Amino acid sequence: MSGDAIIARLRAAIGTDQVLEPAVAGDRYRADFSGANPCSPRAVVRPTSTTDLVQIMRICSAAAQPVVVQGGLTGLAGGATPQPGEIAISMERMSGIENMDADSMTATVLAGTPLETVQRAAAAEGLMFPLDLGARGSCTIGGTIATNAGGNQVIRFGMMRNLVLGLEAVLADGTVVTSMNRMLKNNAGYDLKQLFIGTEGTLGIVTRAVLRLWPRQDSRVTAMVALQGFAQAVALLRLAQQHLSGSLSAFEAMWASYYDFVIANIPSLRSPFDASHPMTVLIEAEAADDAANHAAMERLLEEALEQGLIVDAAIAQSERDVSRFWAIRDGIGEVRRLIKPHCSFDISIAISAMPGFLERVDGELAAAFPAVRTLVFGHLGDNNLHLAVTTGHADDLPRLNDIVFAATADAAGSVAAEHGVGVLRRPYLHHARNQVEIDLMWRLKAALDPQGILNTGRVLPAATAEGAAIDCQGNS
């Protein structure tokens, strides 16, 4: 069917102003936050309801018209960036909170609702929605479900998968799967929501969700500690999980390669320590009682000092200190501007395999590129490492990717821990998953989207070899 014919049909079905042609849509829908490979969609459709979306998918399905789904466009893997010939479905008009149930501690929300809107609505009820990440103001609940978003509190609350109780999704053929479970325990049949969490829109389009909320925690205690190395950090992690029990909400490890670089290069940052240390960890605990929370953190640090696990420690005495500590961890945003061009990795590795992995990567990178610089930090408790690697030369980026991903594969790690696969990680998926797994993913794709019109070209490697678009800048 011609583009004009489809657009006319979509307009007739859901209204003229819900369907934008590229010239009208402008740049907004041409790329996600990675900025890689921007491309104008054939049209942008903006459903206001599940009913609209059903009509859209029936029309696209009948015409075998490929679509790409867009939430807040804050992804870093190119997944929401249109590919030639696709129609973009923007979920921005399906925004709003349908229901806040304080007794059941659930929120029912539309997929296009920004994360921060949900966080605020929960707070207004004395509750908390614990998913949190930098893009909170723009990223949508649907997007965080589709990508199984992580962030800073995963060690305590898990990823988005653990925070979704139920959802509604529209399949490629327009079928509405309404599975709005509100209970923590429900084993009545297959847990179908799992098909739509973390599958990046390739199996269905999430339209609504039931989210799990927690009581708000009024006390936060944040500490920065200096350590002599990785083994001490691992021992400290276990001690922190014991002492802070279920209150431990962040355990952010920064190797000296990262820590010293951001302190030296970002003028606004101040370290709480005078000396440089092989490793620094930001620890945070949230609880109800401020005195008890502080006492637990102090007991932890005393015990860690006694055991020789840490060499220095600072507990934030004010909100300003908390911000100062987190600013060092969040310096990665600035790093991205300071060391262009670079490859930025979002990998995960079992903790026991990390030392070997890092030693190998350091060795191989240094052998291949004597002037290489590798900054390492990560959510240690979640097995998630972020590496920023640069030689100063864009030509070296593919080789840097190959070295790091090969080591990741040999450590049985993941090439996409929390940022998703999208388009940019897709050529590397086989480093993290075997062929039987990939075949089984294709079996699911074929069962749910036999024409392959939903976010095709994302996540799943092509059946045949192909030259995928790789953009090292954007894949952080």
Touching a second copy, residues 290-319 (CB under 8 A): 292, 295-296, 299
State in angstroms the smallest separation of the CB of 446 from a second copy.
Answer: 7
Question: Shortest gap between Cβ of 51 and a second copy (angstroms)?
Answer: 15
Q: Is 381 in the site for a second copy (CB under 8 A)?
A: yes
448 binds a second copy (CB under 8 A): yes
3-state SS class at 263: helix
- DSSP lists the bridge partners of residue 109 as 97, 209
Contacts (CB under 8 A) with a second copy, residues 384-413: 384, 412-413
Coil, strand, or helix at residue 181? coil
Q: Is 433 an interacting residue with respect to a second copy (CB under 8 A)? A: yes
Question: With contact defined as beta carbons under 8 Å apart, do 149 and 132 qualify?
Answer: no
Q: How far is the CB of 213 from a second copy (least distance, A)?
A: 10
Our CB check for a second copy shows the closer of 251 and 261 to be 251
Nearer to a second copy, 372 or 423 (CB): 423
Q: What DSSP letter does each residue of 371-383 carry, written as one string? A: T-EEEEEEEGGGT
Tell which residue, 174, 170, 201, 203, has the closest CA to residue 63: 174
Of the candidate residues 67, 209, 281, 421, the single one contacting a second copy (CB under 8 A): 421
Is 441 a binder of a second copy (CB under 8 A)? yes
Pair type for strands 87-90 and 67-70: parallel
CB 227 within 8 A of CB 252: no
* Site size toward a second copy, by CB under 8 A: 97
Choice from 64, 367, 447, 462 touching a second copy (CB under 8 A): 447
Q: Minimum Å distance from CB 347 to a second copy?
A: 9
d(Cα 435, Cα 210) in Å, to the nearest integer? 34
Q: Does 288 bind a second copy (CB under 8 A)?
A: yes
Residue number with CB closer to a second copy (156 or 277): 156
Identified binder of a second copy from the candidate list 95, 138, 162, 451, rule CB under 8 A:
162
Closest CB to a second copy among 15 and 308?
308
Rg (CA), the chain: 23
Q: Does 158 bind a second copy (CB under 8 A)?
A: yes
Using CB under 8 A, pick the residue from 70, 148, 232, 456 that binds a second copy: 148
Establish if 289 lies at the interface with a second copy (CB under 8 A).
Answer: yes
Out of 9, 42, 156, 324, the only residue in the binding site for a second copy (CB under 8 A) is 156
**Rounded to an integer, what distance in angstroms lies between the CA atom of residue 198 and that of residue 203?**
10
Residue 463 binds a second copy, judged by CB under 8 A = no
Q: Are 284 and 250 in contact (CB under 8 A)?
A: yes
Strands (E), 83-186: 87-90, 97-101, 106-110, 127-128, 164-170, 176-179
Report 346-375 residues binding a second copy (CB under 8 A): 348-353
Q: Who contacts 117 (Cβ-Cβ below 8 Å, separation ≥6)? A: 95, 97
Cβ proximity to a second copy, 394 vs 462, nearer residue: 462
Nearer to a second copy, 193 or 342 (CB): 193
- Spatial separation of the C-alpha atoms in residues 211 and 180, rounded to whole Å: 10
Q: Which of 436, 463, 464, 467 binds a second copy (CB under 8 A)?
A: 436
Sole binder of a second copy in the list 379, 449, 453, 475 (CB under 8 A): 379
Closer residue to a second copy in complex, CB, 46/419? 419
Is 49 or 242 the residue whose CB approaches a second copy more closely?
242
Residues numbered 171-230 forming contacts with a second copy, rule: CB under 8 A: 175-192, 194-195, 197-199, 214-217
Centre a 10 Å sphere on the Cβ of residue 156 and count the other Cβ atoms it contains: 21
Shortest separation between residue 2's beta carbon and a second copy, angstroms: 32
Residues 96 to 115: which contact a second copy by CB under 8 A?
101, 103-106
d(CA 261, CA 430): 33
3-state secondary structure 13-47: HHCHHHEECHHHHCCCCCCCCCCCCCCCCCEEECC
At 140, list the tokens.
Answer: 């949508």
12/447 with CB nearer a second copy: 447
DSSP string, 386-449: EEEEE-S-GGGHHHHHHHHHHHHHHTT-BS-SSS--TTTTGGGGGGTS-HHHHHHHHHHHHHH-
